[in-house]
Amino acid sequence: MKITDEMIRRLQRSLNALARGHGARRLAVDGLPGRRTSAAFFRYLAARGREGEAILARALRALR
């Protein structure tokens, strides 16, 4: 499966919503898979673990 800019925008929107209230800087929803998006993704998974992974997957499915 090819990762599209729309998929990256969904990830960015999801990470912004899930990080709200946790002191994280908001990501630009630009569809570009840059360093800030990657860093936010891995920080989120490190902080939330398997439960966070499931929540993120549900958020991404909801944005289809």
pLDDT at site 22: 73
pLDDT tens for the chain, 64 residues long, are 788 999 999 999 999 999 877 777 899 999 999 999 999 999 999 999 999 999 999 999 998 8
- For the chain, the domains span 5-62
C-alpha span between 45 and 64 (Å, rounded): 21
- What SS3 state is found at 44? helix
pLDDT at site 24: 76
Q: What are phi and psi of 12, to 5 degrees?
A: -65, -45
